[in-house]
Structure 1
Amino acid sequence: MTMPAKRATRQRPNSAGRREQIVDAALKVMLAEGVYRTTTRRIAEAAQVNVATLHYHFHDKEEILLSVMDLLVRGYRAVLARQFAEPQPLETRIADLLWFIWGEIKRAPEEQLVLQEMTLYVLRQTGVEHLAADKDRIFLQLYSDSLRTAVDVGPDENGRIEQLANFIYTSFVGILNQWLATHDTDLLRAATATLILAAQDTARRLGLGC
């Protein structure tokens, strides 16, 4: 799934995979230096292209951010699809999903910092504030899609799955932000275990699977 764009853009070229080269370089710069300190000039240097070439492929920094978000989301979606290819009941899926996501965060915490910075950055830029809502909606869908494929979830339960996914997602974002600030892993693990129990109880209250 790709990030939706709400502003009109003309079709951009992609000579010899140049767009992918620029996006990969942008992500590396953001991971190393942060979103706010990342400029189009710095991205061009990292991609080993000149600034004119960069702007031939992308209008501005915000369009590059959009593509970086899409790159990360596609990666996360592929990882989740591989991890949860086997059938599971919803109660087990809730627990395994949260522990797996925590493992991925622990593996690459700098990506989480970049995602947080992206949200704050676009909220401060006139005309592209919607990208923050787009990002939030797509990451929420990663949760709901993973829960929806549990073996005891029926096709008529999408609305309730969305409610459950929103509860889990918004709660876990708070836990994640606390961990990014404190790096208190014991506290995160305790809070995650509590969230799993609360989510499983919420699923039962919604009449889902478990």
Structure 2
Amino acid sequence: MKLPARSRRPARPQSDGKREQIAAAALRVMLQKGVFDITTRKIAAEAEISVATLHYHFNDKEEIIFSVMENFVSQYRSRLNDALGDSTDLPQRIEVLIHFVCSEIRRAPAEQILLQEMSLYMLRHPEGQDLARAKDEHFQDLYASAFSQLVEDTPEAQQKLRALSNLIYTSLVGLFNQWLATQDDPLFARSADNLIIAAKAFAAAQGLSR
């Protein structure tokens, strides 16, 4: 997951783990206070460094937020790959993916809320809109990568795969918001099962299985 070019800073030599330290501190602050109320001063205080040191490693708060998001996605990808295992069946992978995301929502709802807040924050700031788009595209890419080896490597098949990933991604966002509002676990489970049925039917109708 890469920052848009205009927001990317070349890596500092001899960082000595400072970027990771700052990103970890930012995550703790955001989980406590939300995205909209954090400042670089609060992040620096949590990281026990000066504001000048923070700005040596990051341009601004938006770049720190994106770094936290990158860490989220990297860990998410690793857990998803473990969940998928060696399955070579597309319908099974669809089911595993959706169940995995639902389990992540239940495991750490505060982190999922934070991801939503990050998107809203970026969309409210003109300089962050490219970051919001990059985050959205990356999650769809992540879902598509779970299926890519099971689909023909042709432009038409890849376009259909992208549509399947978009269906799953946007539906899961809706399921998450509904669950947050209702805390209705049985409804959440039924909705997830319905999404699995719909996604499998879409994949079959598009002829996506090799």
TM superposition score category, shorter chain reference: over 0.9
In the superposition, relative to structure 1, how do residues 107 and 128 fare at CA in structure 2: closer, same or farther (>3 Å)?
same
Which residue in the other structure is 2:165 paired with?
Answer: 165
State whether structure 2 residue 80 is matched by structure 1 residue 80. yes
Contact 1:3 1:69 in 2 (8 A): no
Which residue in the other structure is 2:142 paired with?
Answer: 142
State whether structure 2 residue 14 is matched by structure 1 residue 46. no
Matched to 1:172, the amino acid is L
Residues 1-210 of structure 1 correspond to what in structure 2 (within 5 A)? Answer: 2-7=1-6, 9-13=8-12, 14-150=14-150, 153-156=151-154, 157-209=157-209
Structural RMSD (CA): 1.6
Q: Which whole-Å CA distance do the structure 2 matches of 1:100 and 1:15 have between them?
A: 35
Q: Which whole-Å CA distance do the structure 1 matches of 2:104 and 2:189 have between them?
A: 14
Would you say how many aligned residue pairs link Structure 1 and Structure 2? 207
Runs of 4+ more than 3 Å apart: none
**Normalised TM-score (structure 2):** 0.93
Q: How far is 1:3 from its partner?
A: 2.6
Q: How far is 1:45 from its partner?
A: 1.2
Structure 2: tracts of 5 or more residues without a match: none
**Normalised TM-score (structure 1):** 0.93
In the superposition, relative to structure 1, how do residues 6 and 182 fare at CA in structure 2: closer, same or farther (>3 Å)?
farther
Matched to 2:179, the amino acid is W
Q: How far is 1:194 from its partner?
A: 0.6
Contact 2:9 2:58 in 1 (8 A): no
Structure 1: tracts of 5 or more residues without a match: none
SS of equivalent residue, structure 1 residue 128: helix
Q: How far is 1:147 from its partner?
A: 1.9
Q: How far is 1:7 from its partner?
A: 1.0
Q: Which whole-Å CA distance do the structure 2 matches of 1:57 and 1:186 have between them?
A: 46
SS of equivalent residue, structure 1 residue 139: helix
Cα deviations by residue, 1:30-60 (Å, 9 ceiling, x for unpaired)? 1122111221111111111111111111111
